[in-house]
């Protein structure tokens, strides 16, 4: 994926890899059994995928967000971050956002504003502000 992005001129400093979140085996096993199959994933193996994601980021010079480690930090219960033991719940999405946003903000904070700040747009005639035909 990183090689492809580089091939279409996306520089490394604009890429953020995100590791998979941990797996809550008990909850995922319940989902599997409900579908008539046995547990088909282990958190230990997901950790290996997360480790590979970290290694790819190091090798490629990209930033990485290690959800697998962050969600299990200090032995915290991460089950509320997962809707079914595998996929992010609304709380898990909020967790992801809270850690991803600072990385994105750091990357875009130095970009120039191409359009005026929304409060600086003339409400009655926005084209004056947006098309440069005025100083509103």
Tell me the DSSP string of 39-94.
----HHHHHHHHHHHHHHHHHHT-EEE-HHHHTTGGG---GGGBSSSSSB-HHHHH
Work out the pLDDT band at 122, boundaries 50, 70, 90: confident
The burial class, CB within 10 Å (0-12 / 13-18 / 19+), for 35 is exposed
Work out the pLDDT band at 11, boundaries 50, 70, 90: very high
Work out the pLDDT band at 36, boundaries 50, 70, 90: very high
Mean pLDDT of 7-15: 93
This prediction's pTM: 0.80
Work out the pLDDT band at 127, boundaries 50, 70, 90: confident
End-to-end Cα spacing for the chain: 43
DSSP 8-state secondary structure symbol assigned to residue 104: H
DSSP 8-state secondary structure symbol assigned to residue 113: P
């Amino acid at each position: 994926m990183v090689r492809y992005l580089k091939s279409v001129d996306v520089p490394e400093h604009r890429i953020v890899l995100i590791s998979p979140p941990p797996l809550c085996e008990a909850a995922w096993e319940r989902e599997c059994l409900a579908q008539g199959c046995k547990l088909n994933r282990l958190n230990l193996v997901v950790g290996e995928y997360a480790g590979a994601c970290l290694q790819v980021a190091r090798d490629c010079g990209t930033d990485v967000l290690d959800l697998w480690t962050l969600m299990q930090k200090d032995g915290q219960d991460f089950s509320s971050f997962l809707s079914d033991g595998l996929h992010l719940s609304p709380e898990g999405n909020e967790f992801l956002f809270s850690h991803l946003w600072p990385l994105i903000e750091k990357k875009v904070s130095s970009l120039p504003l191409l359009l005026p700040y929304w409060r600086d747009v003339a409400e009655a005639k926005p084209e004056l502000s947006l098309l440069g035909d005025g100083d509103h």
